[in-house]
Every structure is written in C-alpha cells, then in structure tokens.
Amino acid sequence: MSPFQLTRTLPEDATGAALRDDVLHGLTRTPKELPPKWFYDARGSELFEEITRLPEYYPTRAEREILIARAPAIAAATGARTLVELGSGSSEKTRHLLDALPQLHSYVPVDVSESALTGAAGALLEERPGLHIHALIADFTRGLVLPGTPGPRLVVFLGGTIGNLLPAERARFLGSVRTLLGPGDALLLGTDLVKSEEVLVRAYDDAAGVTAEFNRNVLRVLARELGAEVDPADFEHVARWDREREWIEMRLRARSALTVRIPELGLAVPFARGEEMRTEVSAKFRQEGVRKELAEAGLELSAWWTDTEGRFALSLATVIT
C-alpha cells in the first residue's frame, strides 16, 4: 500500500456552491451573518497564523503547552494505531501526538483544502517515512466516512474550533463523531475556557489590528469569488463578549449607509449606518458543560487537562457503553 493516499468526498465545486448558499441566506436574513470558515483563503490563513503569535492571543500557546505535557498520557490512555484529525490544516500541532504514539500505523487528516492536505502530508512523510497517511478532502460538519485503518482510533478536534459552532450545531457534530467511534476508540477535544471579559476581548481585538484585518478578509473573499462590489474599509471590526451565552462574537459594522452588490447572485444588500453583520461566534466552555454535551452525544469524559493558567482544556472522551 502506498504511504500516501488522497480521497475526495466533496464535489469539485462544493466549496463554491457552499459559499454562494451561505452568502445568499446569510446576507438576506436579519440580522445578517456569515460563517467563519470563509475567513480562510490563503491570505486569511496567513493572517490567522500571525494572530496565533500575538501576545493577546493565548489559545494556540495554551493548547500547545497541554499537548507537549500530556501527549504521553494521551498515548497511554488510547493506544491509538490510527489518528484522525478533523480540520487538520498544516497538521503542525498534531506532531506532538505523532511523536508520542510509537505504535501509530495511520494518520487520517481531514480538511476541505487539498493544498493544505498535500503540503502537510509531504512534510510528514519526509519526517516519518513509515507512517501511512490517508488524507480526506471532506467537510467534517456534513458527515464523514473514514477509510479502513487499524484500531484503536483517536479522533482529534483541536484549536477550540468546536466553539465556532452554535449549540445545536455542536450537538449534531458530536453526534456524528460518536458514529465514527467504536469500542476502544476515543475523541480528543480542544476547548477554550470561560475567563475574564478583558482577556477574551483582547484576544479577539488585538492592539496591532491583525484580527480586524482577518475579520474584514471575508469581504475580500466575497469580492474575489463572487464579484461583490464592497470596500472592506467601509466596515469596522467589532469583538463583543456575550455574558449570557458565554461566547465572543466578531462582527463587521458599516461605517455609513451603503449597499453591497453581488451581481453573480443577483443581490443588492443594504446596510444602515452602524448595522452589524456577525462573522464568528467563539463559545467558551466550563468542564461541566463539556461533560454534559459529550454525554448527550453518547460520549463519556474520561480525562481533562488544562494549561498551567487554566485558560484552555483538552478533553479525552470514550463511547458510553
């Protein structure tokens, strides 16, 4: 068997079709919104990498700290022979787990970006020529069929990305993950934790303005992919903590009354001065809340690790029998 396989489960135009659908529905509803996945074109990915190095943005550093300290415990608890990573991107953080799993046979990275998958796989195979990599071009939020690889399997979903899903979406997602797991398999989940409003807002509204550019990048994606007539400078970045829902919202606020025209979709979208469009929700969690959501999906929280400052957590969960 070749050490690298690539399987496409998305149609060739799936990304374009999803973008058109999200824009059509998101910009014609009240209030307006777009899902955060559209931040991440090549420029958006570069900006996010820059964000992870900012002093205000702690999640990446905190999660890496836990992975480095706890990878041996994760390996011992799971004995995984297959590592499945949802939203794998560059697979950078996963290397700490790969290093701790000497018995690992297969790595299954899952991402919508073919270039990200092939780039990461090439680098990993140079470092680990004995590793079998079966990459999936897939949208993990829309159901997933995994290739036949040896168990036990460890499915990982890192970065606190689950916080970008609304509660009902999280329930569906965790339920779909549960269907992937058999006896002896496990889920490793990264969640950002509730903390002071000041710390949270700074993490999403940095002094250098990098997150503001990242937020406005979604407008550049609309201009390039759909021919939208929009000037990102006409919108200002807003980051707000919702105490009741315990999540950060990122929004774009129109500086003046304007109309965004998208000829490809036959849309003319009016914005009043000061009107906001939501572009991201980033939920923050507490241990008991994570335990409850896992249990409702048929999963049992078996281990909980945080960084030394208690800012971020990794949860290990197994199937309830």
Burial class (CB in 10 A: 0-12, 13-18, 19+), 223: middle
Q: How far is CA 267 from CA 15, 125, 196, 262, 279, in A?
A: 20, 46, 40, 5, 19
Q: What is the pLDDT of residues 37-72, one digit of tens each?
A: 899 888 888 899 999 999 999 999 999 999 999 999
CATH number of 57-195+285-319: 3.40.50.150
Q: What is the pLDDT of residues 105-134, one digit of tens each?
A: 999 999 887 877 888 888 888 888 888 999
* Cα dihedral 131/135/139/144 (nearest 10): -70
pLDDT bracket for residue 167 (50, 70, 90): very high
pTM of the model: 0.93
Residue 282: closest CA among 253, 242, 252: 242
Match 């979406």 to its residue by tokens: 169
Q: What pLDDT score does 15 carry?
A: 82
Q: What pLDDT score does 261 carry?
A: 97
Tokens of 5: 């396989």
Whether 2 shows a pLDDT value over 70: the answer reads: no
Q: How far is CA 135 from CA 108, 111, 317, in A?
A: 5, 8, 24
pLDDT bracket for residue 171 (50, 70, 90): very high
- C-alpha 97/C-alpha 196 separation (Å) is 30
Helix (H) or strand (E) holding 250: strand 247-254
Q: What pLDDT score does 1 carry?
A: 52
Q: What is the pLDDT of residues 80-110, one digit of tens each?
A: 999 999 988 777 888 899 989 988 999 999 9
